[in-house]
Amino acid sequence: MLFFISETEASTRQRPFNNKIPAGFVFGDSTVDPGNNNYVETLFRSNFPPYGKDFKDQTATGRFTNGRLSTDMIISYVGIKEYVPPYLDPNLTINELISGVSFASAGSGYDPLTPEITSVVSIPQQVEYFKEYKKRVQAAIGKKKMENIINKSLFLVSCGTNDFVVNYFTLPIRRKNFSVLAYQQFILQNVKQLLQELWDEGARTIAVTGLPPMGCLPAVITLNSENAVLDRGCIQKFNQVAIEYNQVLQNELNSMRRRLAHLGAKIDYIDIFTPLANMIQGHGKHEFYEVSQGCCGSGYLEAGFLCNPGSFVCLDASKYVFFDSIHPTEKTYTKLFLANRHVLDSLIQEE
């Protein structure tokens, strides 16, 4: 947690000591996709204004926010590089590849059905891209050096919201066969499968993000309130599902860490629910002008192509928790990063 320096400084400066984290690898959805969907045949893209309006050179990179993602801040803080590039960018240099990439795809999820809804890159395919990545790097620097990089790197996983918001609670398919509890367990089984596959591929330091307070996402409020204009309060049913899921996820990660500790495993949970809920409902809400609708358009439903160059955009995104109706602003991502910096310090500290 931050005490003595500004948020901006803390989120951009690199580690002061000489750690040995050579690269960072990212898997998941739009919360960590820096632009892979630019190279996928899907409508779920954000490589156009007003996205990126506060990014370097006001570039719309494909990040679903006005600036940087938390993963950019993490990789910079660890001391690797300034931004995490998308793996599917065909112009990446070998040096960019070697120091890490994001395989994440906006709209994806742990449930195999979720990425099919938006025609994006599934988690299993992200793992396949990682295997392809390893072959490319091995061809450039040799197998031993490649494996050494993978073993010492930081792996970040952020996913799951789309499984519930876009899939389970929106479409009837999964609800016919799964109760909420059963679906949570189904998702968790897929999380464990992903972590096992990453472990088998050489990952040893892994951080997994839990679910946010889903009932506080502006789009969820809009679609589930009797009067979405007058009543912008969080939908507690969705938040309760996230709380329950996050607790079981933490237990699973703790169990996995204990089981594999003797083999050098460092596995931890990143809590985004608590700090985000505080920004929206707690004391932190006083730092923002608007906590229940996005900066883009009406802020009620706009996201992706609905948030476009023709949309109204707020003047100062830092006064908003959300940039569009689903995705946080850079300021929010900064606060989420800072709230979990102690977890990162524990994962990357020297033995």
Residues noted as catalytic: 30, 324, 327
97 vs 251: CA distance, rounded Å: 33
8 A C-beta contact, residue 196 and residue 190: no
8 A C-beta contact, residue 158 and residue 107: no
180 vs 172: CA distance, rounded Å: 12
Burial class of 231 by CB neighbour count within 10 A (0 to 12, 13 to 18, 19+): exposed
8 A C-beta contact, residue 293 and residue 232: yes
8 A C-beta contact, residue 100 and residue 24: yes
Q: Number of C-alpha atoms within 13 angstroms, CB side, residue 187?
A: 29
The two structure tokens encoding residue 226: 């009797």
333 vs 331: CA distance, rounded Å: 5
189 vs 179: CA distance, rounded Å: 15
The DSSP result for 92-119, as a single string, is --HHHHHT--B---TT--SSTHHHHHHT
Query: Alpha carbon of 336 to those of 89, 193, 210, 261, 271: distances in Å?
Result: 27, 26, 12, 27, 8
Q: Number of C-alpha atoms within 13 angstroms, CB side, residue 195?
A: 29
